[in-house]
Chain A
Amino acid sequence: MLETKDLSYWYTNKDDYLFKDLDLTFDAGISYAIVGESGTGKTTLISLLAGLDKPRAGKILFRGEDIQASGLSNFRRHHVSIVFQAYNLFTYMSALENLMTALSITHSSHNGDRQYAMQMLSKLGLTEEQMKQNVQRLSGGQQRRVAIARAMVCDAPLVVADEPTGNLDEANSDEVMALFNQLAHDQGKCVIIVTHDAAGAAKCDAVLRLKHRELTWQKQPPVPAMVD
């Protein structure tokens, strides 16, 4: 579903690259974990995959087409759901309104469907009262779940997350990772998660390790269950 071709990135100096000539393939229905030491370029890589930044060299293909061709903003709107560690939610809205906003912006097939959004939130354990109060009044774990719910309600076939379990206790982390796996296995999405939680990463179908500018498969992806 998503392929990188000779992907290279550096910040200030070409010789000081973070990665070079990467050729990777991410498929639908599979959850991927990217692990590695801090500062190795995990966030940078996932930003590129999410269409938040442009590669220095090489390109990223989505369903065979360069994601820059029709605009990164367009790519994000229609094809990616991004879950970041923080600042993920509109703080002046309720959980429900957050979901409704995302449905609207992404032109989702469920745009305007409050019932659908509420179902998703209650599936993630929020009471109706909690859905309708300001998100800032929810706990950290609940807010994280709202962010994931937002990725789940959208039609985007690609979900990327950067440290989605950061600051969460083990029980909550396990739950979040289980949700991401559900997204991949039940909804057939391609899920890519950056994490430094080894136990969490182990639950994913495939694990990539970024080390010394080298990206290696720590756990090979299975044969794609679904091909789009």
Chain B
Amino acid sequence: MNFVKRAWLNLWARKGRSALLILVTAAIMLFVLAGLLLRSAANTAVANAKSSVGATLTLSANREAAFKKMREQMEDQSQDSDSDSKTTPTRPSLTMTPVKLSDAEKIAKLSGIESYNVSVSTSANASGFDAIETSTGTSIMQGGGGFGGKGGFEDNSGDITISGVSSTAGATAFSDGTNTITKGRGLTSDDIGTINVVVETELAKQNDLAVGDTIKLKSLKTDDAAAKSYTVTIVGIYKAKSSSTAQMGPGASDPANTIFTSYSFANTLKGSDAKNTADSVIFTVSTPSKVDSVQKAAKKLINTSKFSIDSNDASYQMVKASMSSVTSFADKIVWLVAIAGTIILALIVILMIRERRFEIGVLLALGERRGKIIAQFFCELLVVLLVAIGLSSAGGQFVGDKLGEQVVASAQTSTTSNSQGGFTRGGGQAPSGEQGQGAPSGQMPGNMGGRTSSQAAMQKQAKLSTRITLKDVGLLTVFGLAIILIAITAGAAGILRLQPKKVLIGS
């Protein structure tokens, strides 16, 4: 009849009390488990986001270095003007070197790079057909946006946006679902060097264009080149998501005016200097976890003072940011419940020890070691804990699911309302006529799109991962053990101080 057996006899003989103790412990464990599940769901969502959206590297001009250079020029000039005040300082220029395709090809050969997509943006003027005029609603916003209307753009910007790509399927605008090919075909690597283009369905409708038709595009005249006219062939028609039109910021041109061409043709439109260059090249890394090492290797191949290669983890950061609130909430749940549970169980243990003073007194009178009496209480709580963990694991799935849905939903509502709030402020200023006060730029629709899709992914992932794993149960057991250990320690003082004489003799 050692202490383990005594513990068991005691639990068995006092079934009602044991059942109550199990219920209380199960309730505490249930909340801890819910917190743990929520936490791991959030962590999984972040990890998934990393593997699903973090797998690209973007090669582009090093803006930071370019700006730094410009600042240095300005400083040099101010020093020069001290010594020779008569020279009129030339305006410092921001020169950003376009990416060389040969560099891109070198990087593409690195192991770990699956594919790459070149993108060149420029603009051109429609010739013989009309670009989409902005709608009344948008023109109000444009007017208020402080961009000076269309007139301001005319010298350096055409009415058609040219997006040169390696292939439309590989371009972000298509891969993220914003644009879809509806007629004909998209551009592929076979179209490099050709004059094949893909136009938007609204533009096609307005100008009565169909697959196989040709249109004329005029390049913009520059200081050293006159405008040239090019005849291009429409091989496909795409549809842009109408929502992005609605989400357009002021000052951005209608997305329907975007014509996709091969990057080589876009370079042709840009001018002879642009041959074999790109604005940016996006590399797809086959294994997301290798992004960092591939990035390091790529850096060695390029002139980092002129170019930068960044891992594109904006979406990942977004998911991470919105999940970090879930994580911290889950952390708080876990700790609050653990602390509250510890206090509750400690009080129960203290009460239990007081209630069982006589039993303890008899044990002490028989000469039982105090440590073994404490061990008996620990065993009793351990059995209670194990049953409680079993119960809460069974119930935890349900609670975890519900809580996960709730929290993910509220996280979404808050991020959505934040972004919408920001947007409404920008648009809302328009009627008042205030100008240029941080109005959202043309980047807005892209960001919005990214956020919406990552939220969808996030919800799906959070839902998927509120499954109870062995690891969760293990962690729960660790928490439970810690809780009963602390509770027993708190109660043990009562056992250690207990004088058998006082108990047995009473007064």
Query: Are B503 and A87 interface neighbours, CB within 8 A?
Result: yes
Q: At the interface, yes or no: B169 with Cβ under 8 Å from chain A?
A: no
Which residues of A in the span 29-80 have a Cβ within 8 Å of any Cβ on B? 43, 47, 50, 52-53, 73-78, 80
Distance in angstroms between the alpha carbons of A82 and B361 in the assembled complex? 12
User: Quick one: given A87-B362, A97-B9, A101-B6, are A92 and B14 in contact (CB under 8 Å)?
Assistant: yes
Residues of A within 8 A of B366 (CB): 76-77, 82, 101-102, 105-106
Look across to chain B and name the residue whose beta carbon is closest to the beta carbon of A71: B367
Partner of A88, one of B1, B10, B362, B499: B362
Q: Interface digits, B300-327 against A, CB 8 Å rule (1 contact, 0 not)?
A: 0000000000000000000000000000
Contact of B505 among A43, A77, A78, A91 (CB under 8 A): A43
Q: Which residues 459-507 in B have Cβ within 8 Å of A in the complex?
A: 499-501, 503-506
Is B364 part of the binding interface, using a Cβ–Cβ cutoff of 8 Å? yes
Q: What's the tally of chain A residues with a CB closer than 8 Å to chain B? A: 32
Contact A73 B504 (CB under 8 A): no
**B503 to A105, Cβ gap below 8 A?**
no
Q: Which residue of A lies closest to B361 (CB)?
A: A87
Within 8 A of A (CB), among B111-125: none
Query: Is B363 on the interface with A (CB-CB < 8 A)?
Result: yes
* Residue A134 lies at the interface, judged by CB distance under 8 Å to chain B: yes
Given the complex, which residues of B lie within 8 Å of A80, measured CB to CB? Answer: 367
User: Within the assembled complex, what's the spacing in Å between the Cα atoms of A77 and B506?
Assistant: 22
B15 to nearest A CB, angstroms? 11
Query: Complex formed: what's the CA distance from A136 to B351 in Å?
Result: 22
- Asked if A190 lies at the interface with its beta carbon under 8 angstroms from chain B, I say no
User: A77–B13 contact, CB under 8 A?
Assistant: no
Chain B interface mostly: helix
Interface residues of A in 127-141 (CB under 8 A from B): 134
Interface residues of B in 348-387 (CB under 8 A from A): 358-359, 361-370
A-B contact pairs, 16 of them (CB 8 A): A53-B499, A53-B501, A73-B370, A76-B366, A77-B368, A82-B366, A84-B504, A86-B506, A87-B362, A87-B504, A92-B9, A92-B10, A101-B1, A102-B366, A104-B1, A105-B368
Query: Known contacts A73-B367, A82-B366; can you find 20 more A-B pairs with CB under 8 A?
Result: A47-B501, A47-B505, A52-B499, A52-B504, A73-B364, A78-B367, A80-B367, A82-B365, A84-B365, A87-B361, A87-B362, A89-B362, A90-B362, A91-B359, A92-B359, A100-B1, A101-B1, A103-B1, A105-B1, A134-B13
